[in-house]
Every structure is written in C-alpha cells, then in structure tokens.
Structure 1
Amino acid sequence: MRKIIAALNMTLDGVCDHNAGLPDEEIHQHYTELLGQGDAILYGRTTYQLMEFWRTILENPSEQKTMNDFAVAIDKIQKIVFSHTLDATDWGSATIAKHDLKSEVLALKQQTGKDIFVGSRSLIIQLLKLNLIDEFQLCIYPMVEGKGLAFFEGISDRIIFNLVKTKIFKNGSLLLYYQLKNDHPPT
C-alpha cells in the first residue's frame, strides 16, 4: 500500500504561503530528490496554478542549476488537480481528478507503486480530517513571516504526531518527518 505524504514548507509562525520562506539550492535539491521518490503529487487549483511557474523555468532556464533540476522533476511527476472550476489542464503531466478527494486517495493508496505527495494546504487539511495522511514532511524556515496563510487553520481537534526523523539544512531550515501518533477518527 502506498503512503500519502504531506510535504509543505512553512515559517516559524506557521505561515505556509508560497511567497514566504527562504528556499535555496540545498532545499531545491532536496525537493527534486523527493519528487523522484513518488509517483504523483496532489494539488488544489490554487497551488497547481502557482506551481505552473516552474514551466517558465523549463522554457527559460535559471542560472541556478538546482532550480532547473526541480523544474524538470516537477514537470515529470504526475499531478492530480482537485478543482471545482478547472475542466482541463494544458500541462502534459497534469490531470483533473475524476472523483472526490476521499475516493481518489483511497484508490491511489491501494495501487502498487511509489508514494503519493500532497502539496496543497487545503488538501492536506481535508486529508488530515479524513485520517488519510500517513506522513508529514514539514520544512520549517527560520523566520517569522508575520502575515499569510496559517497552515493548521481550521483544525479543531487535537492531533498528536510522532517525530521519526529530522534533517537540518545549512540555511537553518529544519525538515521534520512526522507520523500520526494517535489514530484520530475521521470527520
């Protein structure tokens, strides 16, 4: 059974806005390698449209090799987009989900293959409430953003995690690998 892994960046104050943070070459390299370990990444419409930025890097490469490598990796991995407003995508490796989030994820978990990543805050919150996330990989940037989208907004039940691994980046960012410690009931 494949794992569903929530992978997201956030600041010390819990802001997970894609404009917040301090991504550098080492972090880009980490996420390039991570994408190579999965079969697909799940996005909501908003995050999917933000990630389309990487298509511009494919067309006009950056001077930073790790950004170019990440652009290739994100282009390659299958992207499944959950949207009520998009009917189609024009990114060759992206498709619109055919079923609701719970049904789609349950079906993906049953298939053979590599893990499935979730890269949208809204989907992570929904899947957490459905008890369908197997692992969290949270990259915490050493900064306070002060404004923006709070990651765990909308969670009203206590959820306890078990820290299973850490990774420290040279820029002071910390990657925390968590598994759910308690099986909280789906809502």
Structure 2
Amino acid sequence: MRKLTFAMNLSLDGYIAAPGDDLNWSVLSDELFQWWSDRVAATGLALYGRRLWETMSSHWPTADKEPGATPATIEYAGRWRDMPKAVFSSTTATVDWNTRLVTGDAVTEITRLKADDGGPMGICGATLAATAMRAGLIDEYVLVTHPVLVGGGTPFFTALDDWVSLSLGETRTFPGGVVLTRYETRR
C-alpha cells in the first residue's frame, strides 16, 4: 500500500497561505529549497487540488527558462515537470506536464490510488488535503514551520470529527529558524 503524505510550508500560527492566498511570507533558504526539490524527485505521484495546481502550473513548467534561473531552480522545474501528478477538480478542463485530471469523488480515487503499486504519494493543497484528512487517508504529516505569524488565511489543518493520534518521526532545523516536524499517523 502506498503512503500518503501531506507536506507544506506553514506559518507558526498554522496557515499555509495568508489572507488573499499570499505566500510571500515563506522565504526558502537554499538548504530548504533543496529539501523540497529532493522530496519532489522521490514522489511517485502528487495529488493536487485545483487552486494549488493553478499556482504551481503557472510557474514551474517554464521556470528553468527564466533569465537568471539558478541551477536549483532548473533542477526543481525539471523534477516538477517529470513527477507524475493528478489534479482533482470539477472545473479544470485540461492539464499538462505529466498530469491527469480526476473529476470524480476524491476519497474513492485516493483510496484506489493508495492501494495501487508505486512510490509514495504527496497531497498538495488545503482543500484536497482536508478531504483526505477527514477520511483518515493521510499516513504522514510534514510541517515546515516558518517563524512568522500571518494572522489568518488558509489553515494547514481542517476541523475533524475524530482525534488522529500521531507519532513523531523526525525533527530538523533549517536556516532562518525554519523547523521541520514529521509525524506518522498511528493506526
């Protein structure tokens, strides 16, 4: 069975985006950017919600062609394009860059994908992750916490009907006071 991980940058007060979907508060050090790039390279399938898909697909497919693109940006852009992706949306008409569109029930499809063979899966986007979280489908949570309070916006965690017990799997610090914590769901 494939493992499903929800990993995102978040503010100390628990938001993955500030009001207005502002992401400018998360400044990535070279070391943290490399960690994210390596994570993309190791992902067997990334599951995207529509809004984060639109953000990522508006930048990363051509980011390596931008003037002044760093070697790290070039590497990440290639890895992102090559990574198999599924976009869950009832309003998106087409997707590109090694991506397929899923328009049916997210819980049913994620459950089916978890049962398939293949590498680990990552879930990207607050709304899709909330659906998987409430259905008990997430096996691992990776919080990359930045030392900033944004006061509101899109929360990392959703309201749940039941408690979810977790075990600490890893902690790591990055430059700038960023702290990674990885928790595994206890079943």
Tell me the equivalent position of 1:88.
Answer: 94
Given that 1:98 and 1:104 are in contact with CA atoms closer than 8 Å, whether structure 2 keeps it comes out as no
Secondary structure at 1:147 match in 2: coil
State the number of aligned residues. 181
CA–CA distance in structure 1, aligned partners of residues 90 and 105 of structure 2: 10
Tell me the equivalent position of 2:120.
Answer: 115
Tell me the equivalent position of 2:79.
Answer: 73
CA–CA distance in structure 1, aligned partners of residues 146 and 78 of structure 2: 24
CA–CA distance in structure 2, aligned partners of residues 57 and 88 of structure 1: 20
CA–CA distance in structure 2, aligned partners of residues 65 and 107 of structure 1: 37
Q: Does 1:147 align with 2:149?
A: no
CA–CA distance in structure 1, aligned partners of residues 107 and 152 of structure 2: 31
Tell me the equivalent position of 1:12.
Answer: 12
Q: Does 1:135 align with 2:140?
A: yes
150-159 or 68-77, which deviates more: 150-159
**Gap change, CA 1:107 and 1:74, over 3 Å in 2:** same
Once the two structures are superposed, residues 99-135 of structure 1 have per-residue CA deviations (whole angstroms, 9 ceiling, x without a partner) of 3211211121111121010011111111010000011
Unaligned ranges ≥5, structure 1: none
Once the two structures are superposed, residues 69-100 of structure 1 have per-residue CA deviations (whole angstroms, 9 ceiling, x without a partner) of 211111110110011101211x2312101532
CA–CA distance in structure 2, aligned partners of residues 50 and 66 of structure 1: 19
Secondary structure at 2:62 match in 1: helix
- 1:173 aligned to 171, 178, 182, which one? 178
CA–CA distance in structure 1, aligned partners of residues 100 and 146 of structure 2: 31
CA–CA distance in structure 2, aligned partners of residues 20 and 157 of structure 1: 31
Given that 2:61 and 2:97 are in contact with CA atoms closer than 8 Å, whether structure 1 keeps it comes out as no
Q: Which letter maps to 2:7?
A: A
CA–CA distance in structure 1, aligned partners of residues 76 and 25 of structure 2: 18
Given that 2:126 and 2:154 are in contact with CA atoms closer than 8 Å, whether structure 1 keeps it comes out as no
Deviation (angstroms), 1:138: 1.1
Q: Which letter maps to 2:12?
A: L
Given that 2:126 and 2:155 are in contact with CA atoms closer than 8 Å, whether structure 1 keeps it comes out as no
CA–CA distance in structure 2, aligned partners of residues 36 and 66 of structure 1: 13
Query: What TM-score does the superposition give when structure 2 sets the normalisation length?
Result: 0.88
- 2:44 aligned to 39, 48, 69, which one? 39
